[in-house]
């Protein structure tokens, strides 16, 4: 990529913004966030799929700002819970619940359950005048019986990725980004951008 690309991140989640900024370090990309644009819409994440929510957020911010917009929706899919909380991960313990309440509900539902396998899945949507493209990243692992670590956000203190003994919350940001669902989705998007500039 030769000319810096100005894009807006369709999120106000400081954890996501921090991760995305770290993942894009060294790329000629100027990142703005929804908070930089007064009147930017608060998009209700009421779609039935991660892709639906990501597309909805990216399109809304693109239309509001006129800039290419990047949005993601991420879900924790737990095998023993039939894929829940999935698209409802951020609201698992109910409307207005925070990360701690969501983790507590997850532990409650998995109490005494031997199968702890799960995966994080991110769908990243990129909206431009040409339409919306989606990129997916998956990280498999398992859920602990109690929290460990102080880093990250969301379900990170409970999730151990495959090939690791530490939770996402115990990994450094660079270690997490190398393994994470969001990192994989973003690298797929960056590979797309790279191809676009080479054609």
The residues carrying an active-site annotation are 73
What phi and psi, each to the nearest 5 degrees, are found at residue 115?
-80, 110
Q: Quick check: 57 and 71 in contact, CB under 8 A?
A: yes
Distances (CA, A) of 143 to 16, 46, 120, 168: 21, 26, 11, 11
Residue 179 three-state SS: helix
Q: Which residues pair with 32 in a beta bridge?
A: 8
How large is the angle between the packed helices 14-23 and 181-198, nearest 10 degrees? Answer: 50
List the structure tokens of 101: 């309440």
Give the count of beta carbons closer than 10 Å to the beta carbon of residue 14.
Answer: 11
List the structure tokens of 41: 């819409």
Distances (CA, A) of 5 to 8, 27, 114, 145: 10, 9, 47, 43
Residue with tokens 């990216």: 58
Q: Quick check: 152 and 169 in contact, CB under 8 A?
A: yes
């Amino acid at each position: 990529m030769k000319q810096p690309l100005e894009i807006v991140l369709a999120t106000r989640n400081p954890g996501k913004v921090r991760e995305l900024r770290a993942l894009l370090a060294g790329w000629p990309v100027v990142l703005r966030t929804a908070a930089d644009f007064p009147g930017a819409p608060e998009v209700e994440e009421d779609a039935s799929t991660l892709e639906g929510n990501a597309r909805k957020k990216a399109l809304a911010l693109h239309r509001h700002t006129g800039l290419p917009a990047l949005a993601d929706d991420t879900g924790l899919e737990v095998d023993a819970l039939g894929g829940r909380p999935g698209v409802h991960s951020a609201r698992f313990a109910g409307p207005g619940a925070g990360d701690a309440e969501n983790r507590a509900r997850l532990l409650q539902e998995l109490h005494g359950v031997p199968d702890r396998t799960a995966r994080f899945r991110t769908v990243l949507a990129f909206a431009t005048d040409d339409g919306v493209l989606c990129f997916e990243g998956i990280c498999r692992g398992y859920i602990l019986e109690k929290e460990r670590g102080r880093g990250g956000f969301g379900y990170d203190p409970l999730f151990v990725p495959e090939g690791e003994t530490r939770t996402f919350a115990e990994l450094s940001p660079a270690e997490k980004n190398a393994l994470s669902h969001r990192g994989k989705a973003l690298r797929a998007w960056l590979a797309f951008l790279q191809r676009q500039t080479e054609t």
